[in-house]
Amino acid sequence: MADAAARPAAFVPADPNFEARVRDSFARQPFMEIMGAALGAISPGRVEVVLPFDAKVTQQHGFFHGGAMGAIADVAGGYAAFSLFPADATVLTVEYKINIMAPGKGERLVAAGEVLRSGRTLTVVRVDVHAEADGRRVHCATGTQTLIRLDGKSDGKA
């Protein structure tokens, strides 16, 4: 993530039960379950998604597939934004861009989304993806993301 001087001040979530809401919503994402991804650390405006190595999420060279990197980056950023929203709001990605800077190889990938600016409607997030192996971390991708807050919309519960 950005150095401490460049980070925004601590965010205050609109919903004090933000962590339970993030975990509940994530648990209803079939794609993350299929990939084998799980939530890591959660704090207001910051969420991690962890993807353990599995040959099913690799490309022909045995590295994590760029699509897998992009998917967990999108979800980490989305939930970072969602963590700040009121209880009656949901989130959708408007746009994201990711730059892959090194092969994703290792025991797992960790995508960390961190809110840069949370507005009334749009939230901008930075996401960094690291590959971890043998106690080492390699920064393999960085992205930016814009998300929209949809007030009064269900987060997918029937």
> What percentage of the chain exceeds 90 in pLDDT?
90
Q: Is the pLDDT of residue 69 over 80?
A: yes
> Which pLDDT tens digit goes with each residue over 46-60?
999 999 999 999 999
Task: Record the pTM.
Answer: 0.92
| 66 burial level (CB within 10 Å; 0-12, 13-18, 19+) | middle
Which of 104, 114, 119 minimizes the C-alpha distance to 35?
104
Q: What is the pLDDT of residue 132?
A: 97
Q: Which domains does the chain have, with CATH numbers?
A: 14-151 (3.10.129.10)
> Which pLDDT tens digit goes with each residue over 127-154?
999 999 999 999 999 999 999 999 998 8
Q: pLDDT higher for 158 or 61?
A: 61
